[in-house]
Amino acid sequence: MKKYKAHIALIVANLFFGINFPIAKSLMPKYLHPIEIIFLRASISALLFFIIQQLFFREKVEKKDILTLALCGIFGVSINQLLFFEGLNLSTPIDASIIMATIPVMVLIISIFLIKEKLTMYKSIGILLGAAGAIITVVYGKELASGSDELKGNIFLFINSISYSIYFVIVKPLMGKYNSFTVMKWTFFFGFLFIIPFSTHAFTNVNWAIFNGFTWSSLIYVIIATTFLAYLLIAYSMKYVNSSVASFYIYLQPVVATLLAILMYNEKLSFIKIISALMIFAGIYLVGVKSEIKKSA
């Protein structure tokens, strides 16, 4: 029953993330710059996790786990969010969601190095396919004539996917020891600390007067749904499923993001985007599904 709930939590969290791509894009840069959204996400979520943990789930963490929690904050919050929003601001929702779909492959690669997960033939081919699809999306996501900004944005998004994958692997052992709120409290505390140096000039030129109902609701969605709730749901799920399984649900994100981007921005799916997405999905199938079938045979 708990595993069933964990899978439901992963579906909901990744639906939140998928919707986030076009919603967050609508806020930048007309209403808010990336660093301003990041500051609001990290600070408000850190405060919410702190209040709830202190009121209902008080527990101390062992000193030896503080460093790991700090690394979770760096890779899962600060680097992740800084590069994601900077990248999305320069790129497109569809490109961003396709690049983020490389995370399951990245999780496997990092697991091989950090926890010595076994590398099989299927996983090797899957890694190569996923990497090739990601490189195609990063470099050729749109026509090369579109300029260097989109290429820079795609590179930011790709590095972000690596950072988030590291977080996926290192946070898993902590979820077996502590309550989800405890892990998230410390993760966002450290993540927010590392964001502060980059946000010293935030909000100096924000024109709050031009915010409308859609803008405010979009900002609330980005902060509450895709930060506080989504991170909490994923943290809860990782108590019962491993990092690789949790990362597979990221494949919901490109589907949701693409549909909304077509509706909101009239984006078009180019042939190159379809091919690169299929390569990434094929890579994931080989890394996850095919490998599991062979293992159980």
User: Is 69:235 a contact under the CB 8 Å cutoff?
Assistant: no
In a domain, 94, yes or no: yes
In a domain, 290, yes or no: no
**What is the C-alpha to C-alpha distance for residues 281 and 251, in angstroms, rounded to an integer?**
8
**pTM of the entire predicted model:** 0.80
Looking at residue 31, what is its pLDDT? 93
User: Is 47:228 a contact under the CB 8 Å cutoff?
Assistant: no
In a domain, 256, yes or no: yes
* DSSP letter assigned to residue 204: S
Q: Which residue has the higher pLDDT, 268 or 113?
A: 113
In a domain, 293, yes or no: no
User: Is 104:250 a contact under the CB 8 Å cutoff?
Assistant: yes
In a domain, 273, yes or no: no
**What is the C-alpha to C-alpha distance for residues 201 and 9, in angstroms, rounded to an integer?**
36
Looking at residue 38, what is its pLDDT? 93
3-state class (DSSP) for residue 118: coil
**What is the C-alpha to C-alpha distance for residues 187 and 71, in angstroms, rounded to an integer?**
8
Grade residue 101 by pLDDT with cuts at 50, 70 and 90.
confident
In a domain, 277, yes or no: no
Mean pLDDT of 93-107: 79
Looking at residue 212, what is its pLDDT? 94
Q: What is the pLDDT of residues 189-217, one digit of tens each?
A: 999 999 999 888 888 888 999 999 999 99
**What is the C-alpha to C-alpha distance for residues 277 and 17, in angstroms, rounded to an integer?**
18
Structural domain including 79 reads: 2-116+146-262
Mean pLDDT of 134-161: 71
In a domain, 270, yes or no: no
* DSSP letter assigned to residue 222: I
pLDDT value at 240 more than 70: yes
Looking at residue 145, what is its pLDDT? 41
Task: Indicate the average pLDDT of the chain.
Answer: 82
**What is the C-alpha to C-alpha distance for residues 251 and 284, in angstroms, rounded to an integer?**
9
pLDDT value at 143 more than 70: no
In a domain, 289, yes or no: no
**What is the C-alpha to C-alpha distance for residues 133 and 141, in angstroms, rounded to an integer?**
10
How many beta carbons lie within 10 A of that of residue 224, not counting itself? 16
Q: Please, which residues have CB within 8 angstroms of residue 162's CB and are 6 or more apart in sequence?
A: 106
Q: What is the pLDDT of residues 17-44, one digit of tens each?
A: 888 888 998 898 889 999 999 999 999 9
- How many distinct structural domains can be found in the chain? 1
